Structure 1
Amino acid sequence: MKSQDQTISIAAATTPNSGKPDARQPRRRLTLGSAASVALLYLWAAPALAQELAQSAVVPPAAQPGDAAQPASESAAGVEVAQTEVAKAEVTPGNSPAVLDEVQVTARRKTESLQKVPIAVSVINGDFLNQTGAFNVNRLKEALPSVQFYSTNPRNSALNIRGLGAPYGLTNDGIEQGVGLYIDGVYFARPAAATLDFIDVEQIEVLRGPQGTLYGKNTTAGAVNVTTKKPSFTPGSAVELSYGNYGYVQGKASLTGPLTDDIAARISFSGTQRDGFLYNVATQDDVNDLSNLGIRGQILYNVLDNLSLTFAGDWTRQRPEGYTQVVAGVAPTLRAENRQYAAIAASLNYTPPSFNAFDRLTDVGSPIQSYQDLGGGSLTADWDTGYGKFTSISAYRVWDWRPSNDRDFIGLPVNTVSAATSYQEQLSQEFRFAGDINDDLNYVVGLFGFHQVIKSNPVQTTALGSAASRWLLAGTANASNSALLDGLTQRLSVRSVFDSAALFGQLEWKLTDQIRVLPGLRLNYDRKKINYDAQVSGGQDTSNDPALRAVQLAQLPQQTYADDIDDTNVSGQITLAYNPIEDVDTYATYSRSFKTVGLNTAGVPNIPGTSNPDLSLATIKPEKVAHYEIGIKTRPFRRVTVNLAAFNTDIKDFQAQVQDNSAATSRGYLANADKVRVRGVEFDSNARFGEHVSVYAAATYTDGKYRKFTNAPLSLENTGRPRPNDVEDISGSRLPGISKFATSLGGELFTPGSFLGRAGDYFTGADFSYRSGFSSSATPSDYLNVDGYELVNARIGFRSSKGWDLYFWTRNLFDKHYYELLSPGFGGTGLYVGQPGDPRTFGVTFRAEF
């Protein structure tokens, strides 16, 4: 947040990045190679730079035409909750220091207030991200109560809005994401991208509800639109360095400036290291650490006054020793006593290091790693034709995932190898045109194409160890035969191809000065193909004993199947916006949307009583979504905004991620729940009091239920219930991952002063978040419910008027013990594991721009 006596510059009435540089401004020439070198030099030299910057009297130059737009809003500690489109926000200063800045958007070729655009969105600027330590999507959920993010490792991540988006549980590559993640207009298909560190972010827009008529990829629950800082024709650079407990070190650097009169470049770097929050007593090493490096480069070429091209490339590398979960407890099951955890563990003379997850101790025996590389490039063209704005976004992306996990989560050699490798390539092309027909009618129309290939690289491997027979076959005649499953290995080769194309558009028709109607339509075509081949070898030689071979294949199935399916859908929405009086805007929306067909790419359960796969589950029906929403946005005083929204979403053939607690489907599989409903109410507000206080508040009530799901898998405590009662009717029960109540409250107090003789602002800020308890299992279980929790983050420091900040911060100030999630253990013994939330962390950050 800028202090009240600072000026926010606006590039007025120009097409972004289309202006020519001011000839009076001095120019520097540099190459991308030298830019990267200088950026890294800034990072390593930060302590020395701090002293030099404290003595510097250089005032950052004013924005020039062609420079990047300013952050969306500096009000309310950087959080602005309002209504927007896919657009860059600009800031208009208020008439007095006590007036809340009004956020403007230019989504439909005209400038309009965020408060007047009838789509619910939360906008967070880059300064808020930096000051609160929200360096990835996971930490956004503390500021945005409508957002949920769950992750046991980068691949197994779910980004949801209003409880919808991705099935709760282990990720299956065969499904689409209901929440679209876009970075500078490029769609990121894999959920692992949500775990990446933010690099040079200007703002983040989180749109709630279906967005298929304005976005390239169809999204049924919402979209997260990340905008990075753009190349500037005004030379500039920035550096940030943070130190904290648990060995936390984070460095960021960026450099921008002109290459020629018409070409500007920007290069940005981010690196994060942190020790793990868990301790492995077997290896005497901390695990679940952070080791991230990322770089992003952009070149802006102003070809003509009305035509610009932006070339962008990025690469991120993560090499953590993680991730695992810790033992959280044991639930009684319906299995015989000798097939439950206590008896099995006693027979193997095993005791975990702790049954208290918040001791943060593990003894996993298999190596763990979550290595991933993600990168790509894009070319964006913006052309002001005189009749409207034409935009083209061409992109290529690649994701390489190389994990090693210990799926039993304990020190026994049960599941000794779990390496579900994945390699993804995607190509996308979007054409979009936005224009005005007349003063009362404007439109956006687009064409989007997408191609994706996902394959195992190399084969995915799962292996069992010497304790597997006792652990998985307890109570049977084969339980004492340790050789039967020891070394049994499944090698999986899977390849899936997804192709989609869409034509979409939306109109805005001004019926009167107070009433607008906004209809939208989308035509979507999808085709998906899969080839799945899992072969099993090793273990005891059972070639002459079909019965024993069947026992082996019941644990690690040998399956081969292929499928090729396509689907065409038409969806759309209509919105009525009404402005009864000044500073009061209302809207009502009805949407019909869909999530395309799904494929089970991680195997399917066997037909009960056989070793044959149930191929009826290879293909999953598409979701059909009906969404209703009403909202009101008000600005009762020039210094306050108050917004309310109520919504109801009904889904048929909901794509659920389920797990039947057996070794054969330890990764879970997809299935359709007949009917699901999510409804709720959202409140958000921002305010500025006088010249020195700004606050924000947001709250949601969300009620998500299975209206009809009659063939759900058994809950943890019902494991072992025999046929024909080996499924449950969970109609009427709550959806997993959804807290009924969630709130966020924060603000900042600042006052002018001086530090070491330098003028600036002293500030202190705090952010509070609360989420009520939620179910952590697709089928509700009394043992897999996460209790509600609250978190407090705080910061205190000094912002110099010369462009540098120094502040101290803490996250989870009161060291609250809470779970991110709970999961059933391997093999259905009743053991369950959990992922503890981050403990209290604290540190110091220095930032400078010059």
Structure 2
Amino acid sequence: MKLSVLATAVTLAVTGQVATAQSGAEKKRQATLEVVEVTARRTTENLQEVPVSVTSLGAEALNSAGVSVLTEVQQFSPNTTLQNSRGTNSTLTAFIRGVGQQDPLWGYEPGVGIYIDDVYMARPQGAVLDLLNVERIEVLRGPQGTLYGKNTIGGAVKYVTKRMSGDANAQVDVTVGSYGQQDLKLTAELPLVKDKAYLGLGYADLSRDGFGEYLIIADSMGYQDPENYNKDLTAMRATLELTPTDNLFIQLAYDQTEDDSNAKGGYRLLPSLLTNAPVPGSVFDSYTSMPTDNYVELKGFSLTAEWNVSDELTVKYIGASRESYSDTNIDFDNTPLDIFDVPAFYDDENTSHEVQFSYAKEGYSVVGGIYNYDGESCGHFDAILGFLGRAAYGALGATGLTREVTGCNNSKSTAVYAQSSIELNDQWSVTIGARYTEEEKEAFVKNGVNLSNVYPSSGWIPGYVRPATAVFPQVLGRDTNGDGVLDAPKSEDWSRVTPRVGVEYQMDDQTMIYASYGQGFKSGTFNPRATINERAADPEIVDSLEVGIKKDWGASLRTNVTVFTIDHQDRQYITVTPDPNDPTALNQNLGNIKGSTVDGLEAEIVWAASDALSIDVALGILDGKIENDPTIAAPLVGLSNTPDYTLNVGATYYFDTAMGNFTARANYYYRDDYILFEDSDLLAQDGYGMVNLGLTWESPNGDVYGGLYVKNATDEEYMVGGYNFVGVAADGSYLPGLGGDQTLVSYYGDPRTVHLNFGYRF
């Protein structure tokens, strides 16, 4: 779909809606639109004055819709995918405008940046955030390479927490619901020194039984919790806010999350060739030969200091230190046999420092800064092909077969950036910005084979003791003393200038038209599964052209529409394929293909039909194409996790009674067809629609509140992840893949749930 065609379609669509909406506004003159503030350009601005395609959801909107976890935000942002990754509750798969990262293994960089109060979340593990003390969530679509830097080539998601109100208060929030859901959230604010120092605390304990169960667990595993898709999570946050002078604000924050939910088991779409266990009757049921344990922990400190030097100049420092750890059990084949099992752990830590300044005078503003990031991302997994090993090498005394991989990808990044907005006259303004980034990476991989089943540590399964030397190492680089650790890791560095140029035309007080060009940069990386001494993959570059119009039609109708085209160059291409001549091989291709293009449209419409009723629409349209590249093993068939259409239509109705204020909310969300992997359409999700309902209440004095919510009311089944290790013959029949079985497995989003919420403010 060409950009000119989209522009014409937008003009016709908006023009057609105006007459109807204006007549409605004339009848309902008392209806008014909300002024929405965002920090998309690192300063607080009115949404309608920001020349960026951005969705902002405040605390009230999130509450009325019953949004409790970050992944639910995808419904309200066009052309956005935020979903749980395969195998865990806490790992995030994020795509915006067809750009993201499918594989969550250490060393791979995301394509969508996740931020908590301007602190970058470097890894997808633990990035499925439960909402606690949130003020708003912003979704910035399109590359944000100037103000936000590397790894925001698809966009950025900002989680903004509430600042202290200044008064001592506390709040308790309890939720009960389907599948034994029991959630408890506690928040409190305490003034330590009046008008100078405040302490804030937040705690959440979130639990739920499984949507399904493990039907068979291998006898060798001992007792295991059979719940599948359960939830067992605790989170806490402590914040100290200081205002020593009128122009200085300091915030010190600590947060920690522990997720003890079980590892998720996938649903076999094909019967196993090696077991007689039938395909489960429910998509949430599974089989496993592994422990069902799973653990994710993330924690971090952050320090923010904001100094208002003058009415025009503000200087801000943002520093953070974060770390995360997870161990998990992923049964790829989802059978009671050890056909293809992967126990793994990941360990990540990073520090970042940013000094930022913003200067604004009449007709001119600039935001700039210096950013430094230093991170270490390590991991270890054992790909256990035990059944295959015993069959192929049993005569040699093999008790299994394990491909073991251990490694680290360490990253250092420094950037300098500035972006300025200049008013040429009362109507015309321009935006000019650029960011210079220097990136250095070093990596090592230890990759080897053992003819037995090997686990990451002793006690991983009952009675298991890990051998002192578990594998025969094949390492990338030199290993002179034979300990499996490189003397000198591989390293490579890159640098890039990512510009942004835009022009804005303020047609009248309620209409802004803008056009912009922006570029994004995603870091190059080394292959964490490498079996040969290979070079790093080059960085990905995204060039984006965007034209938008933001308009308020009087006081009751708002239409924000954007058309865009993306040129995604040097896309990193990752696939894991078996070698038919070597059953011990677990080969991975990692490199760059020519790229892809995406043309698209995004429309967000809000109509305040009356004082009581508001209607909102979010529409996304994408047309993506991947360039043919003869260097890849399998032709790419489409963009993963990227439907051609997304649509959300919602209505919110407010009404007052003697018992208090009520808000009724309903929305219909539709996602068109999409595939999970770019090199295969075997895991394809048909288009589906989802209905969500909510009714919230607040007492007349505001101290008591509650809500009743129905999510996925029609109980739709939809894929959010999967594994594809199956061959396809010329006649379309399936062939055994890695491990010797037909492993085609999918994971699913939440079924229908109902929950009741109750809270009290002290």
Question: TM-score, normalising length from structure 2?
Answer: 0.85
1:771 aligns with 2:691: no
- Give the aligned partner of residue 560 of structure 1: 475
In structure 2, what is the equivalent of residue 162 of structure 1?
Answer: 97
Matched, 1:432 2:356: yes
- Alignment correspondent of 1:518: 431
798 and 593 in structure 1: CA distance in 2 versus 1, 3 angstrom threshold = closer
What's the CA shift for 1:320? 0.8
Please state if 1:838 is matched with 2:759: no
Deviation at 1:668, TM superposition (A): 5.5
Displacement after TM superposition at 1:394 (Å)? 0.9
Residue pairs, 1:753-792, within 5 angstroms: 753-755=657-659, 760-781=660-681, 783-792=682-691
Give the alignment of 1:686-705 within 5 angstroms. 686-705=606-625
Aligned residue identity for 2:411: F
Does the alignment pair 1:589 with 2:488? no
Paired residues for 1:729-744 under 5 Å: 729-730=635-636, 733-744=637-648
Q: Matched residues in 1 for 2:74 and 2:146: separation? A: 26
CA deviation string 1:530-562 (max 9, x = no partner): 11112433439xxxxxxxxxxxxxxx9953114
1:658–1:671: 8 Å Cα contact kept in structure 2? no
Structure 1 residue 754, shift from structure 2 partner: 2.5
CA contact (8 A) 1:242 1:249 kept: yes
The one-letter code of the counterpart of 1:309 is I
What is aligned with 1:384?
308
Q: 2:243 aligns with which of 299, 302, 308?
A: 302
How far did 1:309 drift? 0.9
The equivalent position to 1:682 in structure 2, one of 602, 620, 627, is 602
> Structure 1 residues 178-187 or 827-836, which shifts more?
827-836
SS in 2 for 1:351: coil
The answer for the alignment partner of 1:728 in structure 2 is 634
Aligned with 2:291 (options 350, 363, 367): 367
Contact 1:231 1:299 in 2 (8 A): no
Deviation at 1:670, TM superposition (A): 3.2
Give the aligned partner of residue 608 of structure 1: none
In 2 relative to 1, CA 667–636 (structure 1 residues): closer, same or farther, beyond 3 Å?
farther
3-state secondary structure, aligned to 1:600 = coil
1:289 Cα offset (Å)? 0.9
- CA offset digits 1:726-759 (Å, max 9, x no partner): x2344xx42111100110111211211133xxxx
The 2-side partners of 1:810 and 1:320 are apart by 23
SS in structure 1 at match of 2:414: strand
- The aligned residue for residue 316 of structure 1 is 257
Deviation, structure 1 residue 568: 0.9
1:823 aligns with 2:723: yes
Give the equivalent residue in structure 1 for 2:48. Answer: 115
DSSP 3-state at the match of 1:130: helix
Computed over aligned residues only, the root mean square deviation of the Cα atoms, in angstroms, reads: 2.5
Match of 1:460 in 2: 381
Residues 302, 319 of structure 2: 8 Å contact kept: yes
Provide the residue aligned with 1:144 in structure 2.
77
| 3-state SS of paired residue (1:205) | strand
* CA 1:667–1:201: 2 relative to 1, 3 Å: farther
- Structure 1 letter corresponding to 2:326: W
Displacement, 1:194? 2.0
Q: How far apart are 1:512 and its partner, in Å?
A: 1.0
Alpha-carbon distance between aligned partners in 2 of 1:586 and 1:568, rounded to the nearest angstrom: 33
- Note the alpha carbon deviations across 1:165-207, whole angstroms, 9 max, x for none: 22x2x32322322211110111110112321322211101111
CA displacement at 1:359 relative to structure 2:
4.7
- Are 1:627 and 2:551 an aligned pair? no
**In 1, distance between residues paired with 2:346 and 2:625?**
33
Q: Tell me the CA shift for residue 468 of structure 1.
A: 4.7
Name the CA shift for 1:112/1:622 in 2 (closer, same or farther; >3 Å).
closer
Q: Which residue of 2 aligns with 1:279?
A: 213
Cross-structure match for 2:413: 500
- Contact 1:673/1:706 (<8 A) preserved: no
> Which residue is 2:460 aligned to?
none
Q: Deviations over 1:285-315 (max 9, x none)?
A: 2212111100001011112111111110011
Sort the Cα spacing of 1:359 and 1:428 in 2 relative to 1 into closer, same or farther, 3 A: closer
Letter of the aligned partner of 2:410 in structure 1?
A: V
Give the distance between the partners of 1:537 and 1:729, measured in 2 at CA. 33
Q: In structure 2, give the amino acid aligned to 1:426.
A: N
**Hey, what's the Cα distance between the residues in 2 that align with 1:274 and 1:666?**
36
Verify: 1:656 aligned to 2:562, yes or no.
no
Counterparts in 2 of 1:463 and 1:175: CA distance versus 1, 3 Å = closer
AA in 2 matched with 1:290: K
1:131–1:309 CA distance, 2 compared to 1 (3 A): same
511-520 or 660-669, larger mean C-alpha shift: 660-669
Q: How many angstroms does 1:643 deviate by? A: 1.2
Q: Name the residue aligned to 2:24.
A: none
Matching residue of 1:75: none
Distance 1:108 1:148 in 2: 22
Deviation at 1:630, TM superposition (A): 0.4
Cross-structure match for 2:62: 129
Structure 1 position 227 matched with structure 2 position 168: no
Cα drift, residue 844 of structure 1: 0.6
The percentage of counterpart residues that share the same residue type is 27
Tell me the residue number matched to 2:140: 207
Give the AA of the match of 1:493.
T
Q: Secondary structure at the match of 1:704?
A: strand
- Structure 1's 482 and 407: CA in aligned 2 closer, same or farther, altered over 3 A? farther
1:636–1:774: structure 2 CA closer, same or farther, 3 Å change rule? same
Q: Name the counterpart of 2:590.
A: 670
Aligned partner of 1:406 in structure 2 is: 331
Counting matched residue pairs gives 680
What residue identity is the alignment partner of 2:614?
Answer: S
Kindly state the Cα deviation for residue 217 of structure 1 after the two structures are TM-superposed: 4.9
Q: Which amino acid aligns with 1:705?
A: K
The answer as to whether partners of 1:466 and 1:483 remain within 8 angstroms in 2 is no
- Please report how far the alpha carbon of residue 467 of structure 1 lies from its aligned counterpart in structure 2 after TM superposition: 5.3
Distance 2:333 2:397 in 1: 18
Question: Aligned in 2, Cα 1:626/1:317: closer, same or farther, shift over 3 Å?
Answer: same
- Determine the structure 2 residue equivalent to 1:263: 197
The match for 2:527 among 585, 595, 600 is 600
Residues 749 and 484 (structure 1 numbering): CA distance in 2 closer, same or farther, change over 3 Å?
farther
CA contact (8 A) 2:438 2:495 kept: yes
CA contact (8 A) 2:293 2:328 kept: yes
State which drifts further: 657-666 or 294-303.
657-666
Q: Which amino acid in 2 is paired with 1:841? A: T
Task: Return the match for 2:653 from 736, 745, 749.
Answer: 749
Matched with 1:798 is 697
Measure, in 1, the Cα distance between the counterparts of 2:66 and 2:574. Answer: 32
CA distance, structure 1, for counterparts of residue 667 and residue 345 of structure 2: 38
Change beyond 3 A, Cα 1:106–1:462: closer
AA paired with 2:95? N
Q: Secondary structure at the match of 1:298?
A: strand
Residue 54 of structure 2 contacts residue 141 of structure 2 at CA under 8 Å; is this kept in 1?
Answer: yes
Q: Deviations over 1:372-430 (max 9, x none)?
A: 110010110000111400000111001011112222222222234x2221111100000
Q: 2 CA distance for matches of 1:482 and 1:831?
A: 26
1:340-389 residue CA offsets vs partner (Å, 9 max, x unmatched): x6xxx2xx4x2233265x35321212113331110010110000111400
Instruction: Pick from 447, 450, 472 the counterpart of residue 534 of structure 1.
Output: 447
Residue pair 1:197, 1:292 contacting (<8 A) in 2 also: no
Residue 706 (str. 1) matches residue 610 (str. 2): no
Cα pair distance change 1:559/1:254, threshold 3 Å: same
Match of 1:195, SS?
Answer: coil
